[in-house]
Every structure is written in C-alpha cells, then in structure tokens.
Structure 1
Amino acid sequence: MEIGFEELHEACGTMISGDHEQARRDLGGLLTAVREHGPRWMEGLLHALLADACGRLGNTADGIEHFRAAVATGWNDCVAAVTEPGLAALSAAPEHREVYRRITVSPADLEELRWIHAERANIDHDTGMMITENVGRKDGSPTEVPQVLLPTRTPDGLGVPAARAMLRLRQRGQLHAVLTSDTLRRSHLTSMAVIGNIGSSPFGGSGFGGSGFGGMGFGSQAMEAASSQALANSRAVTRRAAVRARSFCPTIGLSTLPAPAPA
C-alpha cells in the first residue's frame, strides 16, 4: 500500500519546527518505506526535502546527492530549487548547475508551481494577521480560516503533486496555529471574567465598587464582545473574498510538453 499524506505530515514535523538534523533522520526513515511502496512523487519530494535540510545544515555534499536523486526520480519543482533556503544554498556547489540543467517542466506545470509557492507565502501572511488580530479580541468565537482549494488539473510531472502536498501541510499548519491562538484568547477571556467576578455581591454588583471588572458591567462587556465579533466577521468576509480571488485559474492553451527549467 502506498504511503499517504498523514505519514508525510508526521515525518515533516521536525523539518517544520526547524530541527533539521532530526528531520534528516525522520525523512530518511520515511524514504525507505516510500521506495518500497510508493508513490514515486513522494520519493522525489523526500529527496528534495533531505537536500534542503542538508543545505541548511551546511552539508553540501549530501545535499547535492539528494538533489541529484530527486531530479533523477522525476521531481521537477524548479521554483523550490531556487527559493527554498537549503536548496538555494546548494547552488554554490560546482555540481549544482549540472543537476539543475536536467530539470524539465511543462509551461502548464510551471504556472501552477509558481502559484503554489505564492500561495504558501499568502498563507504565512494571513496566519500572522489572524494571530495578531486575536490579540485584544473580546469575543470567544472561533476565527474563520478561509483556504483555497487545491488545483485538480492533471499534472504533467512529479513536482506538482509534491508541491500540492506541501501546500496542504502549510494549510494544516495554518489551522493549527489559528486554533492555538483562539484557545489562548478564550483562556485569557475566562481568566479576566473570573477576576472580574471576585467579590461580586449576590445582586450582581462588584465588591470593588463599580459594576464589574474595571468599572464595566455585564452590559459593557457584552457590547465589547459584540463589537469585537462584528469586526472579526468583517475581517473574515474580506479575507474570504481575497482567498477566492487568488484561486488557481490555469491559462487555457499552455503547453503540457516538458521544456528546460528557466535559468
């Protein structure tokens, strides 16, 4: 049975966290299983990820060998080859140019690869904005996290399914990060409510004078929460529209025949 997305997600955990030495071991362990069971696009991706990890660690020799193996397998994400920090670091090696020249990619695939990498950057920006917006929110509602649908066109090479998998990982990471931020916000709101109720009389007044924590009564807190929720809803509508607007739309008529990767 082919290795699936969940196994890839688990193996990429240490790479995502920045522990590149452990990532080499985790990705290498999965590579052994993928070589036996497939899929082939994941084999190429794992070699590319291992090359990236080696590049980040300064291990150019092993990085070039994994880069060579990735390209030989059919991985052809030339965008990642020049933008991912570890892979880009390998370009200083004399052997890099010779390996890179072997990459061929169709114009149709190249268009999608460029879109995928741009969308990964968009996700990082949106995630940061949602977490920032969570600071100071007075409502306890969950944050809406709109995400693009992955393209469904049939790719011409193995780089596209690999890049789609990495985009799915980024989307899952976004959901986790925003959920964690929501949880912390709700915990803070609960703590503040408990503090505000200390010394309350049986009739709803505060033992500290005023009508609730900080001199604000339930009505004021409810109004703040409603205003906060309205602002969050407005931001969600704007973000949802932006996500729809940047959905992938393939250019009709682009060639599906492989061509040398752009220099």
Structure 2
Amino acid sequence: MGTLRHSVPPAVAGTVLLFCLVQLPAQIPGEPTDLDRRFARHFPERAPAQLEFAEAAEHRPLVIITNSYQFSMTAYVVQTEPKSADDNSQTLIHDALTRIGGLFAPIPKGLSHKIGIPHVEGAPMPDAKLVAAVWEDGSTFGSDELLARISNSRKALAESYDRAIAILRNGLDKNWTAEEYLTAALQLKPPTLSRMATVEEAQAVSQKFIVQGIPSRTITDNIQHAVQQDRSPARVAKLAQILLRQFEESRDSLRKALSGPFPSTDQPMNK
C-alpha cells in the first residue's frame, strides 16, 4: 500500500487578518454590472477555461486552471480519477469567496491558478478534469449537485458571518475585554460532525463545517495575537472594529453572489 503524499487539503481553515485591511474601490474595473448578471449563462458542455497538467519538484502532479471568460472565475471544481487500486477519486472544490481549497482571490480573464492534486507515491498520475465553475457575473458550468455545494457553503459562511457580526457589535457596545470576545467566539463554532453514509456526503458536510468555523477562528486567532502585545481596552476595541468591518464586507460579497441568477443546468442558455 502506497502512502499519500503531496496532497492538497480539500479546504482551507481561513485567513488571519492581524490588522491588515485592503481598501477596495466601490466599483472594480471589469466587475459585472446588474445588466451583466441578468444575462448570466450556463455553459452546458464546455467551460470557457482550460485545465493543464504540470509537474513540480519530486514529480508532484499539478493542475493549472486558466480562465478564458470575460469575467473573473470565483470558484471551480476539479475531479480526479485514479489509475491505481491504491488511489481514490477526489472532488476538489476551490472558492475565492469562502477560501476553500486555497483560492484566495477570483481568477481574472487570462490568468491562472495552480494547485497540487492528491497522489499516491509510486502510483500512476491520476487523470483530472474541470467539472464545475462559477464566475462573477453568475455564469456557471457543471452539474446542479456540484454548483449547489458551492452555493451551500457560501450561504453557510454568510450566516456564520451574520452571527459573528452580532457578537462583535454587542462586544463593542458593552466594551468587552479580550477574554469576553474569546468566550463569545466559542459560541460560533459549528456543532460536531456526525458520521456520513458516503464519501461524497462526508466531503460536502466537512466543507460546510469548515467554512462555518471561519469567523470563530478569525476572532480567536486575532484576539489571542493582539493581547500578547497589548491587552488595553482600546487595543481590543480597535481590533473588534476591524474584524467587524471585514466580516461585513465579506458577508456582503457572499450575499451579492448568492443573490445572482446562478443558472441551473436545466435552464436554457442565454444567447
């Protein structure tokens, strides 16, 4: 039996802010308008994107996804097919809005995202294909089931941000200490996972579980880091304000994406 090496985890726990904010303009050049979103389409057979294989050090397999569509790609799904009995099929989801899979920003037209894929040492390189994708204007490619997994995770994270925003506002109103914020962050943790019947079910539930915990981990990591240097109420309040703004911006981006048309594979393609 070979050992699994050089694998990429199916989801990333989240990013730590640590007083680092990027001010974004109200309208980013190339960002889809409301009219663009009205004419979002579903690509039934072939996505406007390319998948290429590459090889990193020690023969580690890589997949490169290049976006060819006029709007940025916000999420995509790669599926691997094993060529060995020691390997398993993998469905790898990458979403810039939930940070799943290490995609931390949308992929503009003409640019690429490179990922490693799970591989059993000594086994033949697995096949991989692009099986789903979502773009900023709401256009889609792939099955309803895979697209639903993307939208369900986004909805779960948006709802988790709502709860975190309420906690941060309450803390600011009551001038909480660092310890009170840390205690409140524990309440945001999602419930323990139950055992799933199939691998696909387990992957979907695990993905949702991970994104639901992002606000809790972000508050905890930042508060713990801040109090190592300065435990003053002013420092804690400033950090809470930064987290609040960041969560509101992230939540609003998710809500905007979820409010789009998100065409179904059963719907005809707009011309």
TM-score relative to the length of structure 2: 0.37
Greater relative contact order: 1 or 2 (C-alpha under 8 angstroms, separation 6 or more)? 2
Please say which structure displays the higher CA radius of gyration. 1
Higher helix proportion (structure 1 or 2): 1
Normalization by structure 1: what TM-score? 0.37
